[in-house]
Structure 1
């Protein structure tokens, strides 16, 4: 009589199989970290790319064997998303831990040195913090202007009046233009020699008017240009909420002789509150990346340098690629914190309601 001893199967994570995506991710991460720290940049690029392809193949095989055909259908879109967005994001994150300049071939691992330099360096830190303060100022001013103007436009176009459709198309036109086109337009608009604004002010005061000659004027010009472009976006979101309010609610309120102000707070505002918060979130994130209008109108002069424009100058003009990557991820961290703070406040209000 013979007895056989059954061997225990390996744990799921360590099971060697073409569909074991968990093991593929673990191996891919370990090999990618080692390759990034040890191998040259050209070699580590291909090694990390091979690891990403291995993980993707494991996901595809797993989905096929388990008959997750829906996942297979969206796999090409996910692959494009990874190649165009996720991989460059992860690559730049790894680059922020190295000392690398785009005009040089040498690269070496420095850990958190780039982040420490950005936050504490006697030369770099003051410029970074000044640009960050200017960015916060632009976020507050531009978003406030866009929310107010967009809300007032939405209240106006929610009513029917002659030529409403044509005026609505005219108001939406700035949002359809490219930022470069709008910036060039306002460059001529603010021009002290033949600009429309300067011509009108000169006709009234009799003296030359240069809007961009001071920080207040430069900030006002940038805020006005940005609000002119993106207030229609806020208007569209609010207008979508206004047209969805049932008419019978206003009719019942009119029968009860409820004031217009109370109708707004009890009927209109609950329908547009969520859309207003959504517009606030979108425009805050976009305003945090403000750089194009600053480049076109002031080139950072008169203390209008934003953190995004400062990042462009460091990474592209000064070729400090790794330092620019560190600044960009600090910006990403701040945007994530602001977004989560917004979601927390929105959830608290919805629970309270």
Structure 2
């Protein structure tokens, strides 16, 4: 009988306790990092506190890496570089701007001091600042409703059209998708010339019919219509792609059975087509609503906020960059982030509720 020698399997090191001093004790490192960072921010000058917080972040990262190595979490080590890049490019600027919202800081000055929630209170309750902020937010809500509605309707109609086979379909599909591939700046410049009252195509067409000079951006209604049309022209193809993905996934035999039963077109759409595209429509609605809250580039290029078209994102840019009120801009941006999170959670709640009911 062949007896194999025992194979020694290296045992994994048990996790250190909270207060055990060890290179892989990420719990202790995280606790020390949070406490010392808070004390440094509150008690030390900003330039000193910055380097202390950075060193503590590096300490916590090293503790996590050593912990993963000793416990053979090689998968975590493999994704660690990607996580580091994500932290440097996304998470750190997010946390840094959050910290700035609790300080009095202007980009054109060197002084900085802790003010707590004063920036949030100022942008919400100060007579002049709050009035401008709320007015820009109301304009943003108007653009969100108009642009998202236009994109959903146009995108849905385009998807219904391209779900059918017809001559030159693929070439027309490429042509329809072209606006989505362009940069926002290129689209904004194009519509600037398109709406130009002197040599724009729209003005030339209307002048040839009605006579006289036509200036679309001369009123709030015209300016809003121009921005909504430009935004819908760019992003309706995105909605179309999502809806089209649902339409092509509908089994053909369901339509064949409905044709045999002589089901009406409306009932066929409501009972067969719509259940397959409902989730994608809701997803498109969520994505485009979030993006509509950030509408600023088209406003800058087409109206520069004139004719009462100032959005909260453009207002934020003017406060933070043109007026150098960095901390107030950070506070407004986090109020916007809170609103988007609330809307997203409301969407997820409604989607989950509908799923449970179905």
TM bucket (normalised to shorter chain) is: over 0.9
TM-score (norm 2): 0.95
Are 2:69 and 1:64 equivalent residues in the alignment? yes
**For each residue in 1:151-190, what CA deviation from the matched residue of structure 2 results, as whole angstroms up to 9, or x when unmatched?**
0000000000000000000000000000000000000000
Are 2:290 and 1:281 equivalent residues in the alignment? no
Per the alignment, residue 14 of structure 1 pairs with 19
Distance 1:158 1:98 in 2: 54
Gaps of 5+ in 2: 1-14
**For each residue in 1:118-171, what CA deviation from the matched residue of structure 2 results, as whole angstroms up to 9, or x when unmatched?**
000011000000000000000000000000000000000000000000000000
Q: Which of 81, 86, 102 is residue 81 of structure 1 equivalent to?
A: 86
Distance 1:72 1:268 in 2: 45
Per the alignment, residue 54 of structure 2 pairs with 49
Per the alignment, residue 131 of structure 1 pairs with 136
> Helix, strand or coil: the match of 1:19?
coil
RMSD of equivalent CA atoms: 1.1
Per the alignment, residue 295 of structure 2 pairs with 290
Q: Which of 305, 312, 322 is residue 310 of structure 2 equivalent to?
A: 305
Q: Which of 151, 172, 175 is residue 177 of structure 2 equivalent to?
A: 172
* Structure 1, 43-52 or 264-273: larger mean CA deviation: 43-52
Per the alignment, residue 341 of structure 2 pairs with 336
Per the alignment, residue 4 of structure 1 pairs with none
Distance 1:250 1:18 in 2: 64
Distance 1:317 1:61 in 2: 45
Per the alignment, residue 211 of structure 2 pairs with 206
TM-score (norm 1): 0.96
- Length, aligned pairs only: 344
Gaps of 5+ in 1: 1-9
> Helix, strand or coil: the match of 2:18?
helix
Per the alignment, residue 230 of structure 1 pairs with 235
Deviation at 1:39, TM superposition (A): 2.2
**For each residue in 1:75-123, what CA deviation from the matched residue of structure 2 results, as whole angstroms up to 9, or x when unmatched?**
1100000011101111111110110000000001110000000000011
Distance 1:13 1:214 in 2: 65
Per the alignment, residue 5 of structure 1 pairs with none
Per the alignment, residue 271 of structure 2 pairs with 266
**For each residue in 1:260-284, what CA deviation from the matched residue of structure 2 results, as whole angstroms up to 9, or x when unmatched?**
1111111111111110000000000
> Helix, strand or coil: the match of 2:353?
helix
